[in-house]
Amino acid sequence: MTASGYFSGDYVAARARFLAAAKAAGGRLGSHVNPAPGPNGEALATDTAWLGPPEAERVLVTISATHGAEGFCGSAVQAGWFESGLYREAPPGLALLQIHAINPYGFAWLRRVTEDNVDLNRNFIDHDAPYPVNHGYDQLHEALCPREWNDAAIAESRKVIEAYREKHGAWGLQAAVSGGQYSHADGIFFGGHATTWSHDTLLHVLRRNLAKARHVAVIDYHTGLGPRGYGERICIHPPDTGGLARANAWYDQDITSPYLGSSTSTELSGDNLAGMVAALPHAQLTGIALEYGTLPTEQVKLALRADNWLHLYGEVDSDQGRAIKAQIREAFYQDADDWKEMVWERAVETQRLALRGLAEEG
């Protein structure tokens, strides 16, 4: 089968394919039902598959749909890993834990956020402590999230955004917009004021399955940032930790770091890797996000802003709503054979390197 054949066209098909592939490979399945329904009233769930020794001390964890609409990519890799038989390459004693659609609401509804409009990758923060302040986002919120969504409103907001870029530079703008914010629950890149269902479910799955693990590799699949089809291995372990050094060694120096200024991503508040490290203090965790580019950044951001407006003020079941959903789908999923092939090849290479790195750990 070609790489294109591993991809599904929507959440329902992707879930069915993952479950069937995992079962056929002999995986131990688990399911966690999300409280929100899908767009057609269907049940939504995060599903897991464990393959390997129950007490394995070295485990490769893959995660899809942290940002729901990005789930097409990670889901295809997870199902394809089983269907292709590549799971048989795992060295003796290693286990595989696939976490499928950790944000099933976002995957099903074609939204980047969870059912409570929270960016899951900004939610892993101490919610009992004062939240980080993002003054840049505060200045830009009204421009980023206008009450009207039409050509005139978009043009007016572009003036404000460009003025901020001219004053603070491209990196300053990116940090303000996408670094994470906790002051506007109706905005984009909102980190939430409490843990989300997906947050709690992810930590529950990890603690339950990895209680005996000593070495854990995490690959979290993302799309929407960087050159089209290129899979950037982004490591967000701080430079003063062993995680960054291990990732450099495991992936043959082919990683980037927001902390070192080598990544297309900015530094984030409340990222899920930090939450996973805290949840597994007994294990040595080496995590990366594998981020694939789709459209130019400005088009991706415009799609996010349009979708945010749609779910606040618009009607999903309308001509404009359907056009916005098509826009956001294209921003996070390129339904083209060449893009899918690039996704698959880089994913296979990356997971093989992760398995090698785990095997070499004592």
DSSP code per residue over 306-349: HHHHHHHHS-SSSHHHHHHHHHHHHHH---SHHHHHHHHHHHHH
User: Which CATH number applies to 3-127+195-298+328-360?
Assistant: 3.40.630.10
Query: Is there a contact between 263 and 234 (Cβ–Cβ < 8 Å)?
Result: yes
Neighbours of 318 (CB within 10 A): 11
pLDDT of residue 241: 85
Long-range (24+ apart) CB contacts under 8 A made by 127-131 are: 127/192, 127/193, 127/194, 127/195, 131/182, 131/183, 131/191, 131/193
Helical (H) or strand (E) element with 232: strand 231-234
Main-chain dihedrals φ then ψ at residue 94, nearest 5 degrees: -90, 150
Predicted confidence at residue 50, as pLDDT, reads 98
Longest Cα–Cα distance in the chain: 61
Provide the H-helix boundaries in the chain.
Answer: 11-24, 71-83, 104-109, 135-144, 151-178, 197-209, 242-250, 272-279, 297-313, 319-332, 337-360
Whether residue 310 has pLDDT greater than 80: yes
The CA dihedral of 206, 345, 66, 293, to the nearest 10 degrees, is 150
pLDDT tens per residue across span 194-242? 999 999 999 999 999 999 999 999 999 999 999 999 999 999 998 888 8
Which of the four pLDDT bands, split at 50, 70 and 90, describes residue 362?
low
Percent of all residues in the chain with a pLDDT value above 70, rounded to a whole number: 99
Predicted confidence (pLDDT) per residue in 259-309, tens digit: 888 888 888 889 999 999 999 999 999 999 999 999 999 999 999 999 999
**Other Cβ atoms within 10 Å of 302 Cβ, number:** 18
Least Cα distance to 297 among 233, 360, 223, 238 occurs for: 223
Predicted local distance difference test score (pLDDT) of residue 2: 86
Cα 31 from Cα 44, distance rounded (Å): 10
At 192, is the secondary structure helix, strand, or coil? coil
User: Distance between CA 137 and CA 125 in Å, rounded?
Assistant: 18
How crowded is the C-beta side of 103, counted as CA atoms within 13 Å?
32
Rounded to the nearest angstrom, the gap between the alpha carbon of residue 182 and the centroid of all alpha carbons in its chain is 19
Q: Is the pTM of this model over 0.85?
A: yes
* Whether the predicted pLDDT of 41 surpasses 70: yes
Lowest mean pLDDT among 58-62, 74-78, 173-177, 350-354: 173-177
Tokens encoding 329: 């789908």
Query: Can you give the pLDDT at residue 264?
Result: 85
Q: For Cα atoms 329, 335, 337, give the angle at the middle one, nearest 5 degrees.
A: 160
Strand partners, 33: 45
User: For the chain, what percent of residues have pLDDT higher than 90?
Assistant: 93
| Residue 97: strand, helix, or coil | strand
pLDDT score, position 82: 98
Q: What is the mean pLDDT of the chain?
A: 96
